[in-house]
Structure 1
Amino acid sequence: MTAQPLAPSLAPRPWLSGAARPHRRLAGMAALATIADVAPAVGFAGGLALAVHHLPQSPVAAAPWIALAVVALAARGLLGQGALVLSARLARRVKADARTRALQALFASPGSADKRLTAAVEGVEALDGYYARFAPARTAAALSPLLLIAAAALASPMSAAILLFTLVPFIAGMALAGTAAAAESRRQFDALERLSGLFLDRVRALPALLAFGAEARTGAEIEQAATTLAARTSRVLRVAFLSSGVLEFFSALSVALVAVYCGFNLLRLLPFPTPETLDLPRALFVLALAPEVYAPMRRLAAAYHDRQAAEAAAPALQTPPVPAPASTTLGRHAPGVSFRSVAIGYGAAPVIQDLDLEVRPGQIVALTGASGSGKSSLLHLLLGLVPLADGEVEVGGAPMPPAGFAGQIAWASQNPVVLPGTLFSNIVLAHPQASRREVMRAAGLAGLHGDLDRPLDERGGGLSGGERRRLGLARALLKPAPLLLLDEPTANLDPESEARIIAVIRRAAEGRTTLVATHSPAVTALADRVVRL
């Protein structure tokens, strides 16, 4: 078996565009609602200008234009709310897709769990602002100013020329700010990944840290990583505030230039000849539109940090393709299992190498050997939890797929996973379609007598060590799987408890092919064949 090739990495921007491609209709609706804001903005400016013009005549003459301005304001509010709702919905869907892929990659590649976990949590959340704020603002900033300048040109071509000319330094300032912020955002996300990985690693090793009195040193390491993250975040904010100030300056300067031109034109005090002579309605119309021309650009500048955060997180969210679930089924009858020149390795030194083993259908095989000899790894190979480095594995005459046969195997580990809930809900996990009578029968055969509705916490509170083993065996008994894998089912049990568990194993192995990793002579005596690794 050869390793699956990784997906080629994309640049952040193409990946961000591709992530929204399955939801292009929703993205288009959000963009359209954002651009549609231009129409009520023009309506408000026109209504305001004409209302002021007709107000000296009579309030009745100004009433229709006041009504137009009020309706335009209400329409802007509705369009703005609609655009926000659509953008938030788009962001939610893209984040759900990205989180699903990140979690699939996490379980498919547990060796990179720290980075994958950070990507699934912090990285995915960094996409929210990009799709909810930046993407709609970018579309609006590309089209809305030009549409508004075109509307202004109908009233004053010179004012429109001033607005168009002053867009150049505004765009240049945004480009410079974005370049400065990109590197800082990338460093901030790297610092966040380091802090998350360090914290997760120290939590895992907490018992060892307490045992060796390393609390102070560990606290200092986490404090240093947190301080680094805070410094990176401050630099990002510093660049963001500086760029906002520069853009606000250019925006105010541009509006001031239009106001000066319109005012001097109305007073006929311009020191140079112009091809137009403004009246009050046209001047007011242009002055009301001038701030609107730069509003989309200002919103884009305010959301620019969202883009940098998303681009910084994008490389961690690009995941290799996860192998599709196995299409091969084991059927209902006990299969044979063949290992031919199998090698399993987590690094340079293989745990198992050149293993040849034939397990006949319905046979109970005990895997023995010293700790670290690869007994559990061989079982994990069939479950798809470890990669096959070399060789071939066949189950029931069919080659084992990369993901193993995890969904079709009855499995009892050394420490069965316990989820918050009841004993019944923990047993039925193995076969959700099972009836309550079937669950009670499996629990009785495994020796779990008493109330199946008793509550359990995530640490297995309410279960003894022997009962936890019986929980795993009850799951194996309940699941209608032709292959049974047991990993040290009687470890650390007294002889009496071990004898009872062995009786349960004998019942669970009926009609199945069974592989048991064990050190126990009593379990070994139960097997049809003993293989020492």
Structure 2
Amino acid sequence: MTAAPLDAASPAPSPAQWLKAVGRPWRRLSLVAGLITVADVLPAIGFAVGLTLALTGLERSPGAAVPGLLLAVGSLILRGLIGQLSVVVGSRLGRAIKADVRGRLLADLFGRGRRSDDRMTALVEGVEALDGYFGRFVPLRLAAGLSPLLLIAAAAIASSVAAGVLIFTLIPFILGMALAGTAAASENRRQFQALERLSGLFLDRIRALPALLAFEAVDRSTIEIAAASDDLERRTARVMRIAFLSSGVLEFFSALSVALIAVYCGFNLLRLLPFPVPETLDLGRAFFVLALAPEVYAPLRRLAAAYHDRQAAEAAAPSLITPDAAQAAPLDIGHTAPAIRFIDVAIAWSDGPPVIDHFDLEIRPGQIVALTGASGAGKSSLLHLLLGLSPLTHGAVEVDGVDLTPGQDISGRIAWASQHPVVIPSTLGDNIALADRTACPGRLALAAKAAGLTPDLSRRIDERGGGLSGGERRRLGLARAFLKRAPILLLDEPTANLDPAAENEMLDAIRHIARGRTTLIATHSPAVAAMADRVVKL
């Protein structure tokens, strides 16, 4: 599989897709946990039968009620054992998946050197969110789909009309769950993002504590952390408010549904129904249906209570996705400079207005195209579209006549230099080599020379880019682009904030690096536009 371009990432799976993929190796254990939860139907029916037998037995003699009471007590004991077994299996499933995801995150943090504050938050808080999802929500999801139908089928033996009422009342119950879940989803995502921001801010201020003390900025930092803490508190309160409100709504529908069954059974027993029905209930059948009715909604209520676990896991999932999980299917476009076509392309984020709309452009192989326009016109969004970082909401993108459909990845054939290249605490040579780990020292030196960097590859650079000037940092991105043997070159504002002399030197490096490649450059610079074969103004 081809490697992703530096300073970019391959299109990541959605949270739901990632959670499904993470749980796939343990799907048998997940199925066992779900079936154990579904098995709770048996003691529920047994308890209803036992109470019915005890009640009808009392009509004959007190001793006749004993078998029914024993069955009810035995059903309760069996129900407790099934519940405990379900918790044990669910906990084992959650622990296994958490250990696997935590291992991947640790490898990503320390094996690949991708240390960041949000990764640390994901390692601590995000992984724990998976426990409730796989340990509780996944087993309950299967039970919520099967158990009500099995219980309604049992109720239909005693009363077909009551079974029909139970099926009908499931509709508003399920709609209420869906509406509550939709409202909770966005709030959960915002709450987790606020937690990540607070954690990152706190860790950053701890690292910069000597500088804060030296510049007497402690009070300001305290205010910033307090504001982030208050924001997290408000978002957490919103999540809890929605959770309590949704629980109240579902309890209302559940109580209303049971009340309808009780009214029907009572009026049927008294023969006071205002409409004809195809059945006449006796006390035993009516009591059995009435005892079973609350059990029909119990699996759905438990799923609703665990729905927060699902939303918490999906909110945490984006920060848990490691590069090996985010790899998309590669599209091999060869090693020669390709033609690129944008056909009626539109790019829009979420439900906002399009950043780019009805955009058409045909780029010949090996051509240098400069994208110009005001800030926010969509220059960077078009570059990100080829990298898979912008959503294609309309139209098509073709590379050498091949339609770039969602899920396909050409990042391995793209050399990318962003406005702010990633820097790792190491030597200059190691930073350039991030574009190609197999490069020999000779190729590294050639790339540094082509980009106009010093030939001293052993120079030390810290994680904040200390040891590099602004121009040298941009040249670092160009050196990586030169090192990567890719037929497409994307440059985002390569000469921004440079003086004219430094810009002219950078232009020479860009011409050298762009040879034999199809090149797109997003720029505000007239000098960069002048060197391009074609200028497209957005």
Shorter-chain TM-score bucket reads 0.5 to 0.7
Give, in whole Å, the separation in 2 of the partners of 1:371 and 1:278: 81
- Pair 256,202 (structure 1): closer, same or farther in 2 beyond 3 Å: same
Is structure 2 residue 246 aligned with structure 1 residue 243?
A: yes
Alpha-carbon deviation of 1:213?
A: 2.1
Alpha-carbon deviation of 1:355?
A: 6.1
Alpha-carbon deviation of 1:389?
A: 3.6
Alpha-carbon deviation of 1:296?
A: 0.5
**Structure 2 residue corresponding to 1:288, chosen from 286, 291, 294:** 291
Alpha-carbon deviation of 1:10?
A: 0.9
User: Share of identical aligned residues, percent?
Assistant: 62
- 1:222-237 superposed matches below 5 A: 222-237=225-240
Alpha-carbon deviation of 1:3?
A: 4.9
Alpha-carbon deviation of 1:66?
A: 1.4
Quote the residue 2:443 is aligned against: 341
- Pair 178,77 (structure 1): closer, same or farther in 2 beyond 3 Å: same
Quote the residue 1:53 is aligned against: 56
- Pair 39,368 (structure 1): closer, same or farther in 2 beyond 3 Å: closer
Quote the residue 2:29 is aligned against: 26
Is structure 2 residue 92 aligned with structure 1 residue 89?
A: yes
Quote the residue 1:509 is aligned against: none
Is structure 2 residue 118 aligned with structure 1 residue 16?
A: no
Deviation per CA, 1:117-141: give whole Å up to 9, x if none: 1111111111111112211111111
Q: List runs of 5+ in structure 1 lacking aligned partners.
A: 324-336, 357-366, 378-387, 393-533
Quote the residue 1:201 is aligned against: 204
- Pair 343,40 (structure 1): closer, same or farther in 2 beyond 3 Å: farther
Give, in whole Å, the separation in 1 of the partners of 2:67 and 2:304: 36
Quote the residue 1:417 is aligned against: none
Give, in whole Å, the separation in 2 of the partners of 1:60 and 1:195: 66
1:37 maps to amino acid = D
Q: Which of 1 and 2 has higher RCO (CA within 8 Å, sep 6+)?
A: 2
- Pair 62,345 (structure 1): closer, same or farther in 2 beyond 3 Å: farther
Alpha-carbon deviation of 1:110?
A: 3.8
**Structure 1 residue corresponding to 2:256, chosen from 253, 258, 273:** 253
1:279 maps to amino acid = D
Alpha-carbon deviation of 1:103?
A: 1.7
Give, in whole Å, the separation in 1 of the partners of 2:44 and 2:452: 70
SS in structure 1 of the partner of residue 442 of structure 2: strand
1:84 maps to amino acid = V
Instruction: Give the aligned length.
Output: 358
Deviation per CA, 1:468-499: give whole Å up to 9, x if none: xxxxxxxxxxxxxxxxxxxxxxxxxxxxxxxx
1:212 maps to amino acid = F
Give, in whole Å, the separation in 2 of the partners of 1:345 and 1:244: 61
SS in structure 1 of the partner of residue 444 of structure 2: strand
1:340 maps to amino acid = G
Deviation per CA, 1:388-416: give whole Å up to 9, x if none: 94788xxxxxxxxxxxxxxxxxxxxxxxx
Give, in whole Å, the separation in 1 of the partners of 2:325 and 2:243: 38
Give, in whole Å, the separation in 2 of the partners of 1:20 and 1:204: 36
Give, in whole Å, the separation in 2 of the partners of 1:351 and 1:370: 17
Question: Is the 8 Å Cα contact of residues 265 and 286 (structure 2) preserved in structure 1?
Answer: yes
Give, in whole Å, the separation in 1 of the partners of 2:466 and 2:227: 41
Give, in whole Å, the separation in 2 of the partners of 1:376 and 1:253: 70
**Structure 1 residue corresponding to 2:187, chosen from 184, 187, 193:** 184
1:245 maps to amino acid = G
1:51 maps to amino acid = A
Give, in whole Å, the separation in 1 of the partners of 2:32 and 2:153: 23
Is structure 2 residue 72 aligned with structure 1 residue 63?
A: no
Superposed CA RMSD: 3.3
Question: Is the 8 Å Cα contact of residues 37 and 140 (structure 2) preserved in structure 1?
Answer: yes
Deviation per CA, 1:437-457: give whole Å up to 9, x if none: xxxxxxxxxxxxxxxxxxxxx
2:444 maps to amino acid = V
Question: Is the 8 Å Cα contact of residues 43 and 72 (structure 1) preserved in structure 2?
Answer: yes
- Pair 214,249 (structure 1): closer, same or farther in 2 beyond 3 Å: same
**Structure 1 residue corresponding to 2:131, chosen from 128, 131, 144:** 128
- 1:255-404 superposed matches below 5 A: 255-321=258-324, 339-342=441-444, 389=480
Alpha-carbon deviation of 1:272?
A: 1.0
Give, in whole Å, the separation in 1 of the partners of 2:257 and 2:225: 48
